Amino acid sequence: MAQASLKAKHTQSDVTWKTRLQEWWFRNRALIGFAFIFPWFAGFIIFDLLPFVYNLYLSFTDYQIGTRGVPPWIGFENYIEIFTDDKLFGKSMYNTVYYLGFSVPLRLIFAFLIALILNLRVRGMELYRTLFYVPSVVPLVAATVIFAGFLNTRYGFLNQFLVLIGATPVRWLSSPDAIKPSLILLSLWGFGGQMIIFLAGLQSIPDDLYEAAAIDGGTGWHRLIYITVPLMTPTIFFNLLLGLIGGFQIFEQVFILLDTNGGPLQAGLVYMLHVYNKAFRDFEFGYSAALSVILFLIIFVLTLMLVYTSNRWVFYGDAQDDET
């Protein structure tokens, strides 16, 4: 009896304690939420925002290696020089835009098609999905080194294959005309990340839409064009944005494959390589900061344009109807 009473008392005390904790938790839920996101927020401020602001400041200075104290303020001189006197600004921007113009759409299409295939209900699909994703797990440096072997003119797999089928071998990394296509080819290697996002998007499309289309006599093609693609536009938009931002920042692959000069006739001198050379070869950090600010502005404006135009082609379901 005494034991039962004690147990009841304990239980009551537990309940009171739990209730109080829950109440405290509920009252301070906003604070707790902020506490959880604080590490990310602190990291963002320390490692992203502050360097960005400092970089912006440096772009208006003549900051060179060894500058002690406050670097000399030169206003827009770096920017004026970039637009009036820097031949490699135009060249590197052209190379980057060329690369982007082909690699981003090709990678999107490739990742989307593979995701469509991997969305089929086939036995052992989990294994196939893993296999297709594995290349994306390989570090970029390792993947690039592997690709250097693939692209070797004399002994590379690609040219050996071309010779086998009677085609003319391509000088992937030694001909100025083939450099950019080689980089575009390499960019397809890491399609796995986009593929996974597409796959997640595909799996969120309700089956009843396809069933309704089937009842109405829609073919596979109709289902793809009138159901899958429209409902996937938010995912396509997201992947497009990521692809563009990442594409503008292409660096490691080129650095490893072509060295800092960007290969023959600088056909592979991409924008970030130019930024790198100005900073670490010429030690002109202020100028290099200005180059990177310009790249940021280009990406920022492009992103804004994409977001602004997205309501014309991105389908967000019935959200607007619901609001009205």
Partner 1 sequence: MKVSRLIGLAIAVMMLLSLGLAPTLAQDCDGEVIELEFMNWWGAAREALMDTLIGHFQEENPCIRIINQVQPWDNRAELLATAAASSNPPGIIMSTRPETYHFAISGLIIPIDSFVEAHGTDLSVFYDGEIGLQYWNGELYGLPMPTAGGLTSLYIYNKDMLRDAGFDPEAPPKTWQELEEMSAAITVADPMGVDVMGTQVIGITGGDAAFVSWLYTNNGRYASDDGRTLLFNSPEGIETLEWMVNFTNNINGGVENVADFFQDTAFAQGDHPWYEDKLAFLRINTSFYGHYNVNDPEGYADTSHWGTMLRPYNGDNPNATHAGTTGYNYSGAWAYTIPAVHPPEKQEAAFKFAEFIGVHPLGGCAFLFAQSRPSPVKACNENPAYYEVNPTWSVVLEGLATDVAVSITPVQGQLAEILANAVEEALFGVKSPADALNDAHEEMQALLDEFWAEFDADNM
Binding site for partner 1 (CB under 8 A): 64-68, 148-149, 152-154, 159, 163, 169, 171, 173-176, 259-261, 264-266, 276-277, 279-283
Closest to partner 1 by CB, 63 vs 198, is: 63
Closest to partner 1 by CB, 67 vs 310, is: 67
Shortest separation between residue 134's beta carbon and partner 1, angstroms: 24
Closest to partner 1 by CB, 172 vs 248, is: 172
Closest to partner 1 by CB, 174 vs 310, is: 174
Contact (Cβ atoms closer than 8 angstroms) between residue 295 and residue 89:
no
Shortest separation between residue 281's beta carbon and partner 1, angstroms: 5
Shortest separation between residue 46's beta carbon and partner 1, angstroms: 18
CA contacts within 13 A on the Cβ side of 185: 16
Phi, psi of 110 (to 5 degrees): -60, -50
Shortest separation between residue 257's beta carbon and partner 1, angstroms: 10
Contact (Cβ atoms closer than 8 angstroms) between residue 292 and residue 275:
yes
Contact (Cβ atoms closer than 8 angstroms) between residue 235 and residue 198:
yes
Closest to partner 1 by CB, 64 vs 233, is: 64
Written as one letter, the residue type at 55 is: N
Residue 15 falls in which region: left (phi positive, over 0), alpha (psi -120 to 50) or beta: alpha
Contact (Cβ atoms closer than 8 angstroms) between residue 55 and residue 293:
yes
Shortest separation between residue 97's beta carbon and partner 1, angstroms: 20
Contact (Cβ atoms closer than 8 angstroms) between residue 278 and residue 291:
yes
